[in-house]
Structure 1
Amino acid sequence: MAFLQLQKDLEKLTGSAKLSDAVQDVDKVIDLLTAAREKVASANNPHTTNLTLAKLQNPIKEQLDVLNSNLRHVYKAQNEFNKALKNALPKAQGTLPTEHDPMESHSTLINRAIVMHLLREGQFGVASTFINEAQQQPESPQRPRPTQIRQPESQPSDSEFHPVMSPEYLPPTDAIITDADIPSDLTAFHSQALQSSFADMYSILSALKAHNLLPAISWARENCVELEARGSNLEFELCKLQFIWLFKGPEINGLPNTSENGVQGALQYARENFGRFQHRHLREIRQLSAAIVYSRNLADSPYSSIFDISAAFDEVSASFTREFCSLLGLSAESPLYVAATAGALALPQLVKYNSKTKAKGTEWTTANELAFETPLPRSMMYHSIFVCPVSKEQTTESNPPVILPCGHVLAKESLHRLAKGSRYKCPYCPSEGAVKDAKEIIL
C-alpha cells in the first residue's frame, strides 16, 4: 500500500509541477527582451527607445510573475513528495557503530572501484572529473598532472547509458586488460587500452540495441578460439539469432527487401555460416532449416518457440557481456554495484541485530563472518557457506574446508586438531590417512 501511494505521489509530482514550464517562461522573457533590443537597434531613435522600454515593462512583469508562480508550484510539490517519501520508507531502528570505519584505510581501493564502475557504465566524463579531483594534490615533479579522458567520437554520450542493470556490458579489444592497467595510481585509468576497451563495448552494444548483430558476430568470430576453449556457444547463438532475424523478413526486421533478406536471405546466410557449427549444434541447425516449411504460419508450428525472439536480443546482450568480461578477467557485473546493492539489502538486518545486542549489553565479537543470515538474491551468492561438522564453526579464508580421500569434508583447523603427528583418522568412517593428502576445496 505504501508503495502504491508513493507511486501516486510521484505521478502527481511529475504531472502537476514541471520545471519545463519555468524554462518556457524564461524563454518567453528572453524573446521579449531580444525583440525589444532588435527594435531599438533598427530604429536608432531615442523616442522609439523610450517608448519600446515603456511598453516592455508590463509584459516582462507579467512573465516574471508567471515564472515565480510556476517555481512555487515546483517547490511545493517537491516538499510534499519529500514528506511522502519519508513516510513511505521504514525508519531504521537503532544505529550502527561509528567509532570505527573498517574501510578508512582503503580509500585508494574504493576510488579504484568507483572509477572502474564509471568507466564500465560509459560515464567517461564523470570518471575523468572524479580522477582529477581525487588526485588533486600539490604538484610535484614525480606526479604528472592528470589529463582528460578521451571521449571517442563514436561513443554515445553519458546520458544515453544509465543502466541499473543494469547488466553491465563489455565488448571487444585487441589489448587485454591486466593488473598493470589497474594499479593504485588513478592516473593509470587514463590508459588508452582501458578506455578503448570500454568505448568498443558501447559501440557493439549500441548496435545490438538497434538489432544489428553483425559487429557482435564479428567480435565473437575474432575471439572464437578463446570462446570455444571456455565451452561458450556465443558465436552460434548470435548467428542463430541473425538467421531468425532475416527469416522474419522486411516487415519485421525493417531491412531492405532484397534477396539477402527474408526466407531466401536466411537460407543463404545459413549456407555461408552454419557449416562450422555442425559438429556441436547439428540438431538446432536442422530445426531452423525445417522451419522453412512453416514459414507462412510459424506461430502455429512446432517451431514457434524457437522463432519467438521477444527477449532474444536482451539475452544475447547479457551473454555477450558475460563472455567479454570473462576474456578480460573482469566480472560480468560491476563489483561496486554488487557491493552497494548487497550492503543496502543487508543493512536493515545489521541495524536490527546491533540494536538488540546493545539492549542486552552484549557485543558482536565474531570475526570474518556475520552472526545472522543475510537475505540476498541468488544472483549475489557467489559461494556456499560451509560449517565444519566437527567444530560447528563456519570456515574462513584462514580456515578453509578440506576434503579427505574418503570424501568427508572438515575445516582445516579441525583436521589438524584430530591428527596425531602427520596422520589422522576420519571422525565419520574407519578411513585413515596422511594430513598432506587432504585437499583444500572451494565451494
Structure 2
Amino acid sequence: MELSTIRDAFDHVAKKQKLCSSKTEEIIDQISQEIKKTVADLDSLSYSISPDNYKSILTGLSVRLSEIGVLNHLDVSQKELNAGMSNCLKLLEKYFIPDISKAYRIVDYDMHTVNQIVACHFYQQGLFDLGDCFINEAREPEANTLRSPFLELYQMLEAIRSRNLEPALKWAATNRDRLLQSGSTVEMKLHQLQYMEILQKKDKGDALKYARNFLAPFASLHMAEIQKLMSCLLWAGRLDCSPYVELLSPTHWKELPGELTRQFCSLLGHSTGSPLSVVIEAGAQGLPTLLKLVHVMAARTREWQEMKQMPVPVELGREFQFHSIFVCPVLREQGSEENPPMLMPCGHMLGKESILKLSKNGSRLFKCSYCPLETSVDLCMPLHF
C-alpha cells in the first residue's frame, strides 16, 4: 500500500514536470516570435522616420509580452510542481525515514556478550583486521579465541579457490568422527574431487592408489558413488564424453565452500549465518510493525517499556523461524512462559490457561477438547520446545 501511494505521487510529479516544461517552452517560443517580429519591423523602417515610431513599435512589444503573462504562467506551473515535490518528500519521510528510536526499549544488555557477537561477526566474514581492532578498542582480549577457528576456515576456503584441497582434507580427517556423527558427507566429497583432479591428469595409477588409500574406508556408506568413480578409470583421457561427465561439473567446486562452511560452523557450535546479520535483517522486517505499535501506544510509554510479549504478531520470513511455535487450539493464544503448552495423558496439548479454565483452577476433572478422556491438572505436564 505504501509503495503504491509513493509511486502514484511520483507519477503525478513526473506529469506536472512534463507539463511545466512544455508550458515554459511554449512561452519561450511566443516571446521569441514577438521579438523576431519587432526586430523585423525595426529593420523595415528608414532612418528618416522619427524616433516616436521606434518608441511605438517597442511599446507594442511590451504590451504584447504583458498580454502573454510570462511570469504568471510560469509561477502557476512552478507552484504546482513544487507542491508535488513537497508531497513526495513528506511521503518519503513518513514511510522511509521514520524515527526508529521510538521503537527502542530499555534493555539491560550484557556488553561482554554483545562485544563477542560483533567480533564473531567480523571474523565470520573474514574481516580479521577489523575484528582485531574492535577487540582491542572494546578491551575484550578473551575474544581472541574466536579468531583462530575462523582463520583456519578462511585459509581452507582460499586454498579451495586455487583448487588445493589439502587443508580441507586435513581438517576433515581430524574431525572425521564428529562429522560422521552429524551425518556429514563433506569428507567423501572432498576425496571425490581430489580423485577426479588426479584422474583428469591422465594418471590412472595414481588415481587408483588414491582410491585404495582414501576412498576405500567410505565403501560401507558410499558404495554407489565409489563404483562410479572406479568406472571413470575406463574413461581416463576422455571423461568429457563419458557417462560420468557430471562428476566434472564446476558446480561441485562452487557448492563446496558453502557446505564446508556449514559443517565447520556446526562443529564450532555457531550458526552458518552471522547472528548479528540475522538480528539486523529480522529487525528490518519487523520494524514497520513495531513503529506502528509505538504510534498507537504513544500515550502508554511505560506499558510499552515493560511489555514482555508483543500484543500483535510480528510477521517474519520462515528463515527466521528457529523453533516450533505452539498456539492453544482453545484460546487461540501463542504459548509463553506464563502460558506454556501442557501435555495431557491422552497425548493432546492445550495451553495452561485453557486447562485451568476447563478445570476451574484445578478443582475438578475436565474433559479433553479432542477426545472423551477425562483428566486432572496434576496429570498434565509442561512441554518445552
TM tier relative to shorter chain: 0.5 to 0.7
Query: SS where residue 290 of structure 2 aligns?
Result: helix
Match of 1:279 among 207, 211, 220: 220
Aligned residue number for residue 121 of structure 1: 125
User: What are the superposed Cα offsets for residues 63-105 of structure 1, whole Å, 9 maximum, x if unpaired?
Assistant: xxxxxxxxxxxxxxxxxxxxxxx99x96552544538533454
What is the deviation of 1:306?
A: 3.7
Structure 1 contact 95–354 (Cα < 8 Å) conserved: no
Structure 1 contact 120–334 (Cα < 8 Å) conserved: yes
Aligned residue number for residue 212 of structure 1: 164
Cα distance, 1:368–1:352 mapped onto 2, change above 3 Å: closer
Q: Which has the higher contact order (CA 8 A, sep 6+)?
A: 1
Match of 2:152 among 193, 200, 204: 200
Match of 2:369 among 418, 423, 427: 427
What is the deviation of 1:295?
A: 4.8
Match of 1:109 among 84, 106, 113: 113
Cα distance, 1:107–1:359 mapped onto 2, change above 3 Å: closer
Aligned residue number for residue 381 of structure 2: 438
Find the aligned partners of 1:300 and 1:397 in 2 and give their Cα distance: 62
Aligned residue number for residue 232 of structure 1: 184
Cα distance, 1:405–1:436 mapped onto 2, change above 3 Å: closer
Q: Tell me whether 1:345 sits opposite 2:288 in the alignment.
A: no
User: What are the superposed Cα offsets for residues 130-149 of structure 1, whole Å, 9 maximum, x if unpaired?
Assistant: 233334xxxxxxxxxxxxxx
What is the deviation of 1:187?
A: 2.7
Cα distance, 1:279–1:390 mapped onto 2, change above 3 Å: same
Structure 1 contact 401–409 (Cα < 8 Å) conserved: yes
Aligned residue number for residue 252 of structure 2: 312
Structure 1 contact 247–262 (Cα < 8 Å) conserved: yes
Find the aligned partners of 1:332 and 1:393 in 2 and give their Cα distance: 32
Q: Tell me whether 1:388 sits opposite 2:331 in the alignment.
A: no
Find the aligned partners of 2:205 and 2:186 in 1 and give their Cα distance: 24
Aligned residue number for residue 188 of structure 1: 142
Cα distance, 1:196–1:105 mapped onto 2, change above 3 Å: closer
Quick one: percent identity of the two aligned structures?
Answer: 34
Letter in 2 for 1:438: M
Aligned residue number for residue 136 of structure 2: 132
Structure 1, unmatched stretches of 5+, are 3-85, 136-185, 250-260
Structure 2 contact 339–351 (Cα < 8 Å) conserved: yes
What is the deviation of 1:379?
A: 3.2
Cα distance, 1:197–1:403 mapped onto 2, change above 3 Å: same
Find the aligned partners of 1:424 and 1:300 in 2 and give their Cα distance: 72
Structure 2, unmatched stretches of 5+, are 1-5, 7-87
The TM-score, its normalising length taken from structure 2, stands at 0.63
Structure 1 contact 291–298 (Cα < 8 Å) conserved: yes
Query: SS where residue 275 of structure 1 aligns?
Result: helix
User: What are the superposed Cα offsets for residues 210-263 of structure 1, whole Å, 9 maximum, x if unpaired?
Assistant: 2211211111111111111222222112112222333333xxxxxxxxxxx654
Q: Show the 5 A alignment for 1:93-172.
A: 93=95, 94-96=98-100, 98=102, 100-103=104-107, 105-135=109-139
Find the aligned partners of 1:312 and 1:375 in 2 and give their Cα distance: 32
What is the deviation of 1:114?
A: 1.0
Query: SS where residue 333 of structure 1 aligns?
Result: coil
User: What are the superposed Cα offsets for residues 354-381 of structure 1, whole Å, 9 maximum, x if unpaired?
Assistant: 55x36999997974346234242x4332
Structure 1 contact 402–441 (Cα < 8 Å) conserved: no
Letter in 2 for 1:195: R
Find the aligned partners of 1:290 and 1:227 in 2 and give their Cα distance: 27
Aligned residue number for residue 272 of structure 2: 332
Structure 2 contact 340–382 (Cα < 8 Å) conserved: no
What is the deviation of 1:398?
A: 4.6
Letter in 2 for 1:334: S
What is the deviation of 1:352?
A: 4.9
What is the deviation of 1:383?
A: 2.2
Letter in 1 for 2:226: I
What is the deviation of 1:313?
A: 2.6
Structure 1 contact 401–440 (Cα < 8 Å) conserved: yes
Structure 2 contact 121–274 (Cα < 8 Å) conserved: yes
Find the aligned partners of 2:326 and 2:107 in 1 and give their Cα distance: 26
User: What are the superposed Cα offsets for residues 239-292 of structure 1, whole Å, 9 maximum, x if unpaired?
Assistant: 12222333333xxxxxxxxxxx65443333212211111111111111222244
What is the deviation of 1:389?
A: 0.6
Cα distance, 1:425–1:238 mapped onto 2, change above 3 Å: farther
Query: SS where residue 396 of structure 1 aligns?
Result: coil
Query: SS where residue 232 of structure 1 aligns?
Result: coil
Letter in 2 for 1:110: V
Structure 1 contact 213–238 (Cα < 8 Å) conserved: yes
Cα distance, 1:270–1:394 mapped onto 2, change above 3 Å: same
What is the deviation of 1:422?
A: 9.4
Give aligned pairs, total.
291
Query: SS where residue 410 of structure 1 aligns?
Result: strand
Query: SS where residue 399 of structure 1 aligns?
Result: coil
